Amino acid sequence: MRRHLPHYLMIAPFLILFGAFFLYPILSGLVYSFFEWNAVSLGDFVGFANYFEIWDSRDFGRAASNLLVYISLTVPLGITTAFLLALLVDSFTGRWANFFRSAYFLPVALPAFLAATIWRWIYAPNLGLLNMVLGWFGIPSVNFLNDTSTMIYALIAVDIWVSAGFNMVIILAGLKNIPKELYEAARLDGASKLQQTLFVTIPMLGPVLFFVLTYGVISAMQVFDTPWLLTGSSFISYGGRRNALLFPVMDMMGRAFGSVSFGQAAAYGFMLTIVIVLITLVMFAIRSRLSRQ
């Protein structure tokens, strides 16, 4: 023990920080989820009642189904957009490459509030930029942010706009690491540009795309700020018209700060954590199985 003491001391800072800022919040959240808790005083132990309450609530099903649609569209579309942008930027050299990389990355750096304000203006019925453009083609004004049939697509477009630059930079770094000889060999074998992309670029980008996919799914599971701002939500009213943009984290925040049901919010957060961990594990398992093949 004495011989290993210096080693333990060396990893102690990590363990302390890991315990304080990672394990403690998760475990305390788990404990609070079994109590009536208003953030100040711990009330009665209620067992799984908070979980059942969420499960039975009218908003849970809506939030979950919205999330499913959102993830199934925004993740593949977002990655495809980022991949195409990365290919485009990779085809430029010198100052143009820098310019486009910076330009596409700009939305990532914009504060969410500003991004949402810009898009609320773009989507505004009649006077918004998008509706003005549609009007030039004789298409009547669309109420993107209040028509329940368009709201989720409007959100997805904004999210792709925001996240594409970040994913593009990661994919671009992956592209730079692909040996040029592989493309030369493919060209010599008569492969077209499309075939080079499909059979050289994508397989070589496997680990990078897996990271982008995993990160995309985890981020999408926690979607909050963009729909909150696009729908002008507050703690006592959120989710937009007929809850078309209601998502689990929004519901969790509403329960926490709108009706001070922090016990329920903790249960919601813990359920979400479990689902995210499970999905991530499944993705890693699939990835590991595919790599073995």
Partner 1 sequence: MTSTKVRRTILGGISAVAVVALTAPSSAQSLDYWVYSDFGQGEAGALQEEFIAEFISEHPDVTIQMSGRGDDDLTAGQIAGAASGTLPDVFMNGLAMGSTLVDVGALANLYDKWMAMPEEYRAQFDPAAVERCMASETELYCLPYTGYGTLLFRNLDVLEASGVDTSTPPATWAEWLEQMQAVSDAGYFAIPDQTLIFNSVAEMYGMVGDNSTWGIDWDTRTTRIDPDVMAQVLEMFVDLSEINSGTSRNDQSTRDLFISGQLAFHTIGPWANPTYEQAAEAGNLNYDFVLMPGIEEGKHGGIQNYEFIGVAPGENEDIAWEFAAYVAGENQMARWASLLSRYNSNAAAMADPEVASLPLIERSVESVKYAMDVQPPYFVEAVPNCHNAIVVDYSAATADGEFSPREGAEEMIAELNDCLAD
Q: Which of 71, 157, 178, 260 binds partner 1 (CB under 8 A)?
A: 260
In the DSSP assignment, the letter for residue 260 is -
By the rule CB under 8 A, 226 interacts with partner 1: no
Site for partner 1 in 49-68 (CB under 8 A): 53, 57-59
Write the DSSP string, 75-142. Answer: HHHHHHHHHHHHHHHHT--HHHHHHHHHHHHHHHHS-HHHHHHHHHHHH-TTTSHHHHHHHHTTPPP-
Q: What are residue 37's DSSP bridge partners?
A: 42
Element (H, E) at 228: helix 225-230
By CB under 8 A, is residue 147 in contact with partner 1? yes
Closest contact distance (angstroms) between CB of 200 and partner 1 is 48
Cα–Cα dist 142/140, whole Å:
6
Q: Which stretch binds partner 1 (CB under 8 A): 64-72, 77-85, 92-100, 253-261?
A: 253-261
Stretch that binds partner 1, among 67-75, 104-112, 143-151, 168-176 (CB under 8 A): 143-151
- Say whether residue 126 binds partner 1 (CB under 8 A): yes
Binding mask 184-213 for partner 1 (x = CB under 8 A): ------------------------------
Answer whether 192's CB lies under 8 Å from 183's CB: no
- Which of 88, 110, 125, 196 binds partner 1 (CB under 8 A)? It is 125
| Nearest Cα to Cα of residue 247 among 52, 30, 56, 71 | 71
Q: Is residue 128 a contact residue for partner 1 (CB under 8 A)? A: yes
Give the list of residues 6+ apart from residue 242 with CB closer than 8 angstroms, or none: 148
* Residue choice 232, 278, 282, 286 for contact with partner 1 (CB under 8 A): 232
Query: Given the complex with partner 1, which of 52 and 92 has the nearer CB atom?
Result: 52
The 10 Å Cβ neighbour count of residue 175 is 18
Q: How far is the CB of 162 from partner 1 (least distance, A)?
A: 20
Nearest to 259 by CA among 237, 238, 236: 236
User: Can you tell me whether residue 251 is helix, strand or coil?
Assistant: helix
Residue placing its CB nearer to partner 1 in the complex, 86 or 256: 256
User: Which residue, 4 or 58, has its beta carbon nearer to partner 1?
Assistant: 58
User: Which residues are at the interface with partner 1 (CB under 8 A)?
Assistant: 38-41, 53, 57-59, 120-121, 124-128, 143, 146-147, 232, 234-239, 241-243, 251, 254-255, 257-261
